[in-house]
């Protein structure tokens, strides 16, 4: 075996988004494309000689091939050890768990999260630091800067490693350990939650649930925890086998892409509890019988009931939400007398707060919830948290949420996504809104008066870093909000996300359909931003 130094030229499109670099598979298959980015990661890291790196992914198309390249490059760049998930599989939260448990240098996660998989679909890669969380902007910007001037990369000339056998192998001077992808994560969940109470619930004749793994990475984790350790009946986990193309489905746990689960849950004979996770296991959707829990409400309910869960009975240090997430969690924090932080979208912004011990729970409206147990959002963890609450309270999902609204009020909330729109039009839409922020302040639109309009900027309270242009906010005097933001997770065109929210304290109106309750604001959101003019779209592609 010998180290090869390969001459290369830079690519100009390797700036990581909110969660790593995501492109079409065919882009990553371009000669040198993946290797350039991996070498750029290694070039900006300090003192990697002899260190341990965790590597794994969500099993999507090109996962195994990419992993072989990365492991050989790690050996050529001086890493002493690499821990690889069996079959190349590691969910994103499990990778974070392993980085933290074994105190490794960091990890590389291969995933495009909730994006489709397959030869014509999407692929992604991101670097996580020693705290288990996504690299902060100062590192991702350094990686991007290096990718624009890279001239060579190093890779070991060797045969591929065996990804499918547990145990140790050698790759040059580097030790490769193929590890059980599931056990460490499942053990951690058993420490956080009351498995005895949850087992009693799941094995009773009066309770049933379905978990849709969407042919994605969470399948093996859900099978081990829900069916093997907690005793749920066989068949509780749906689509539990990870497939390279996710079975041709879109592994995004929302009402549109998890429609089969939604159909199962609707009706008088539906299961008591339903949930789904996404491509890499970091997102979740929560359902009751005939009842959908918005991610914002889910975060608030978890915070309000944390004292019922063994791993969180010591209390919450604080909570945090991304700026577009509804203010439901703010109400709980105020009632409990704890701090609630508002950050930009992107899990990396929660990392400093978690590391500093300022928060215990955090979440985003984009179906992501998590806590201080890892440094990633964690879909299955959120499902188990809900199961623990259900086991203790012995109420339905709908009753728990309705009781929550009666105590704290409801933030009626929706998100409208305009997907794969022309990037030029999307940027022009945001630019004209940004130019009108002062003009829009104090304007009246029907019953709504704009109290404040800005382009959200965030100053990190720990390291004082500043993140600007994080979304246009219209804050109305009655507490309602409209937020416009371009997503950083797509690979084709641009995705415009519009978030619409209005507080409601009248219990008689809690059961209303949010699309009806928010109809006037929804209309305003389209007309104020001139969405049709700039995008050509008269309606969103996805409503959640």
Q: Name the residue ranges covered by the structural domains of the chain.
A: 2-180, 185-408, 410-543
Q: What is the CATH number of domain 410-543?
A: 3.30.310.50
Domains 2-180 and 410-543 are alike in CATH topology: no
Neighbouring residues of 19: CB distance < 8 A, sequence distance ≥ 6: 113, 124, 126, 134, 346, 347, 348, 488, 489
The answer to whether residue 310 is catalytic is no
Tell whether domain 185-408 is in CATH 3.40.120.10: yes
Beta bridge partners of 114: none
CB 16 within 8 A of CB 140: yes
Catalytic residue among 113, 147, 298, 517: 113
Q: Which helix (H) or strand (E) holds 507?
A: none
Q: What is the pLDDT of residue 491?
A: 60
Q: Is residue 55 helix, strand or coil? A: strand
Which residues of the chain register pLDDT less than 70?
Answer: 488-492
Q: What is the pLDDT of residue 488?
A: 60
Structure tokens, 450: 């704009």
Counting beta carbons within 10 angstroms of the beta carbon of residue 133, is it exposed (0 to 12), middle (13 to 18) or buried (19 or more)? Answer: buried
Other Cβ atoms within 10 Å of 484 Cβ, number: 23
Q: Quote helix, strand, coil % in the chain, to nearest 5.
A: 35, 25, 40
Q: Name residue, tokens 């994080």.
A: 470
Q: What average pLDDT does the chain have?
A: 95
Threshold 0.85, pTM exceeds:
yes
Q: What is the pLDDT of residue 490?
A: 55
Q: What is the pLDDT of residue 423?
A: 92
Assign 3-class secondary structure to 143-189.
HHHHHCCCCEEEEEECCCCCCCCCEEEEECCEEEEEECCCHHHHHHH
CB 394 within 8 A of CB 273: no
Assign 3-class secondary structure to 508-519.
HHCCCCHHHHCH
Q: 81-89 and 52-57: which strand pairing?
A: parallel
Tell whether domain 2-180 is in CATH 3.40.50.150: no
CB 244 within 8 A of CB 61: yes
């Amino acid at each position: 075996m010998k180290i090869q130094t390969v001459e290369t030229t830079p690519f100009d499109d390797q700036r990581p988004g909110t969660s790593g670099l995501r492109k079409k598979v065919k882009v990553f298959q371009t000669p040198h494309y993946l290797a350039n980015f991996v070498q750029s990661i290694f070039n900006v890291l300090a003192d990697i000689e002899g260190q341990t790196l965790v590597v794994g992914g969500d099993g999507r198309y090109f996962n195994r091939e990419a992993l072989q390249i990365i492991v050989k490059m790690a050996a050529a760049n001086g890493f002493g050890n690499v821990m690889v998930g069996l079959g190349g599989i590691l969910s994103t939260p499990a990778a974070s768990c392993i980085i933290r448990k074994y105190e490794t240098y960091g990890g590389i996660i291969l995933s495009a999260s909730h994006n489709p998989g397959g030869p014509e679909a999407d692929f992604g890669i991101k670097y996580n630091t020693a705290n288990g969380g996504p690299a902060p902007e100062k590192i991702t910007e350094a990686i991007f800067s290096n990718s624009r001037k890279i001239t060579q990369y190093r890779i070991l000339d060797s045969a591929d490693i065996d990804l499918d056998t547990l145990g140790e192998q050698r790759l040059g001077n580097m030790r490769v350990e193929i590890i059980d992808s599931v056990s460490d994560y499942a053990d951690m969940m058993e420490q956080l939650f009351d498995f005895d109470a949850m087992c009693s619930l799941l094995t009773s004749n009066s309770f049933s649930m379905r978990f849709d793994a969407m042919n994605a990475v969470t399948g093996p984790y859900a099978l081990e925890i829900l069916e093997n350790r907690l005793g749920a009946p066989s068949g509780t986990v749906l689509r539990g086998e990870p497939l390279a193309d996710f079975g041709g489905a879109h592994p995004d746990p929302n009402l549109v892409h998890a429609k089969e689960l939604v159909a199962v849950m609707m009706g008088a004979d539906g299961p008591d509890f339903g949930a789904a996770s996404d491509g890499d296991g970091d997102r979740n959707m929560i359902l009751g019988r005939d009842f959908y829990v918005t991610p914002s409400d889910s975060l608030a309910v978890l915070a309000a009931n944390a004292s019922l869960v063994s791993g969180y009975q010591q209390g919450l240090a604080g909570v945090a939400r991304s700026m577009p997430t509804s203010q439901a969690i703010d109400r709980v924090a105020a009632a409990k007398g704890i701090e609630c932080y508002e950050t930009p979208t992107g899990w990396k912004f929660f990392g400093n707060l978690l590391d500093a011990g300022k928060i215990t729970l955090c979440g985003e409206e984009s179906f992501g919830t998590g806590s201080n147990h890892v440094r990633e959002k964690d879909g299955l963890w959120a499902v188990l948290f809900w199961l623990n609450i259900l086991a203790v309270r012995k109420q339905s999902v709908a009753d728990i949420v309705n009781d929550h609204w009666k105590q704290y009020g409801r933030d009626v909330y929706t998100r409208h996504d305009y997907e794969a729109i022309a990037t030029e039009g999307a940027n022009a839409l945001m630019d004209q809104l940004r130019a009108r922020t002062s003009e829009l302040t104090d304007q009246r639109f029907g019953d709504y008066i704009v109290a404040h309009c800005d382009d959200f900027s965030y100053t990190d309270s720990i390291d004082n870093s500043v993140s600007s242009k994080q979304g246009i906010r219209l804050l109305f005097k009655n507490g309602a909000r409209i937020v416009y933001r371009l997503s950083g997770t797509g690979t084709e065109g641009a995705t415009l996300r519009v978030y619409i929210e209005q507080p409601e304290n009248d219990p008689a109106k809690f059961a209303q359909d949010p699309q009806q309750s928010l109809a006037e604001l929804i209309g305003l959101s389209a007309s104020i931003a001139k969405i049709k003019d700039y995008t050509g779209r008269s309606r969103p592609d996805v409503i959640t």
